Each structure stands twice: as C-alpha cells, then as structure tokens.
Amino acid sequence: MDILEQLLPALSRLLDPLKRRVSLMVSRCVLNLIDDKTVLQELQVSALANEVLDRVERLQEYGYTSVPHPGAEAVLLTVGGDRSHSLVIAVEDRRYRLKGLKGGEVAIYDDQGQKVHIKRGGIHALAKNILLESEGIIRLEGKGVEIHGREYVQEDVKGLGKRRSHTGGTNWHDDTYTTGANITGTEHGLDMPDIPSDHYERTS
C-alpha cells in the first residue's frame, strides 16, 4: 500500500465535516410562520426532514416588501454551513404565481387575484379598489382619457361636487352637493354627508 492510499482515509475524515457544511449551505425550505414586525422579517421554516428553524431572517429587495402566506417556498442559505445562522431569500408561492407572461413582462400580484401587470402594450392594474393619493398634482394625459362608471361617476372640488348615478335601464339622475350648504335648483340637491366617498380606503 503506497503512501497516498494510507492518507486517503485520514483525508476523508478531515474533509467529511467540511463536505457536510458545504452541503448545508443552500437548501429549500417551506415557510411556517411569518413575523413582519421585526427590523428584518423573521420566519419559522421547515427545511430538512423534521428540521424546524426559528427566527430566520428574510432578505428582500430594496423598495419592495411582501408578507407571504405559510406554505410558500424559499431558498435557505446558511452562512458557513452553520444552521443557526440562516437566511431566507427568493420566496415563491406556486399557489398564486401569475403564469403565461410574455418575454420581458413584469408583474406584482397577491393571493386575491389583484395584480399590476406591465405588459408589452401597456400596464394593466386589477384590484378590488384603487386609491391614488398625492400632496401635489395628479394628472391624466393621453391621446384619449376615458372614465367609465358602471354605477356612478362622482367628482368634487373642495366640497362642491356632483354625482351621476345609473338607476336602471336607460335612467340616470344627477346629485349635487356643497359641504355645509343647502343646494336648490338641481334635480337632487344633497349635502356632502349624503354622498360620501365610497372608496374602500376612505370608508374602512
């Protein structure tokens, strides 16, 4: 037996701990619990068979944050193969992911079917309610500007406004309002409290 053959068992014993640490550096995991109140989001995850890791920090992209549901999957990184110093990146949830996007397209989405889809021909936003809010100016500009209300269209300027509502068939009626004043000479004169904003973020 030559010297190399004699050294191989000893070398193998020396390298086995390193091999185990390297093999543990990257793995898949499933999210169990999510704590979004911490400076970095902390998770409880299940990784290897019967392995549960607590208070695992999740690194997210700057300018974007999310709170995934339990059952989402992720990549688990362990610094130096030390399972007590683990990080989660690249969280995915196959239950809700949008599918069938074209090359170059981008989208954000949630579990309720709401999305902002940057398509090849424009941007499609789909949501239960949408609120655009600014301390400055909101301007809509284009070749054409279309506003379609299936039930009503409402607008006001500092408490003076109007609302056109569909009442069925080919019937509509107009309401006007001025905060704190009585309106006369209109079809349905109403004060502002009688026609509040119906936007979810303003009424919930």
Q: Is the pLDDT of residue 25 over 90?
A: no
**Strand, coil or helix: 162:** strand
pLDDT digits (tens, 9 = 90+) for 104-138: 999 999 999 999 999 999 999 999 999 898 999 99
User: For all residues of the chain together, what is the average pLDDT?
Assistant: 84
State the Cα–Cα distance between residues 23 and 18, nearest whole angstrom: 9
Are the C-beta atoms of 54 and 84 separated by less than 8 Å?
no
What is the residue extent of each domain of the chain?
3-92, 97-128, 152-203
Cα→Cα distances 6→1, 15, 18, 108, 116, Å? 7, 15, 21, 59, 64
Query: Which pLDDT band holds residue 140 (cuts at 50, 70, 90)?
Result: very high
Question: pLDDT over 70 for what percent of the chain?
Answer: 78
pLDDT digits (tens, 9 = 90+) for 70-91: 999 999 998 877 888 899 999 9
Are the C-beta atoms of 178 and 186 separated by less than 8 Å?
no
Residue among 38, 32, 22 nearest 91 (CA): 32
Q: 138: Cβ–Cβ under 8 A, 6 or more apart, which residues?
A: 132
DSSP 8-state assignment for residue 2:
-
pLDDT digits (tens, 9 = 90+) for 173-198: 888 877 655 555 444 544 444 555 55
Q: Which residue has the higher pLDDT, 62 or 50?
A: 62
Give the mean pLDDT of 25-43: 95
Q: How many CA atoms lie within 13 A of 64 on its CB side?
A: 9
CB atoms near residue 78 (< 10 Å): 19
Q: Is the pLDDT of residue 160 over 90?
A: no
CB atoms near residue 74 (< 10 Å): 23
Angle at the Cα of 183 (from 178 to 186), degrees rounded to 5? 115
Angle at the Cα of 184 (from 183 to 188), degrees rounded to 5? 80
Out of 7-11, 41-45, 99-103, 198-202, which region has the weakest mean confidence (pLDDT)? 198-202
Both tokens of 77, joined, read: 């990184």
Predicted local distance difference test score (pLDDT) of residue 191: 45
Domain 3-92 -> CATH class: mainly beta
Predicted local distance difference test score (pLDDT) of residue 18: 59
Sequence length of the chain is 204
Predicted local distance difference test score (pLDDT) of residue 185: 44
